[in-house]
Structure formats: C-alpha cells, structure tokens
Amino acid sequence: VEECMQIAGDFAVNFFEDSWLNVPAPGLGGLTPLEASEDEEYAPIMPDVVAHIEDFIDKAVESGEPVYDFARLREAIGIADRE
C-alpha cells in the first residue's frame, strides 16, 4: 500500500508540475497555465483556477468518488478492466 501511495504521489507531481503546467487550456485563451500565470488578463484568476482543482480533488477523495475513470485509460491502451 505504501508503495502504491508513493507511485500515486509521484504521478500527481509529474502530472501537475510537468504536464498540466505546459498544456494549452481553452479556458485560458489557449495559453498554458504557466503562460497564463504571467499574462495580464489571466494571472489574476490563476489562484482561483488552482483552488478549484484542489477543492475538486479534495472533495472527490473525501467522498470516495473517483477523480478519473481509469476504464477509459485501459480502453485506450487495450488492457482489460480490473476485476
């Protein structure tokens, strides 16, 4: 269990700090979150964007609801569902 938690934590770090920061977002005018944080129009809303994501994940964890349907990932790479 501890090893799985470490893997999940590492994944979250890599996703948010490497991927999410650098992927253009339609809601940010096509800017990446990193670019938006330096943009005069979007920089003021970035604290709310991050807070919204944080709250969404925290609420999902608290409620026991999944944040992502991993069946979609399994289907995309052609592996069987968990049993």
Global pTM value: 0.74
Write the burial class of residue 14 (CB in 10 Å: 0-12 exposed, 13-18 middle, 19+ buried).
exposed
pLDDT digits (tens, 9 = 90+) for 21-74: 999 999 999 999 999 999 999 999 999 999 999 998 888 888 888 888 888 888
Residues 6+ apart with CB under 8 A from 38: none
Tokens of 33: 């979150």
As a whole number of Å, the end-to-end CA separation of the chain is: 18
| Residues 16-25, mean pLDDT to the nearest whole number | 93
Distances (CA, A) of 68 to 29, 30, 61, 73: 25, 23, 11, 9
Contact 57, 50 (CB under 8 A): no
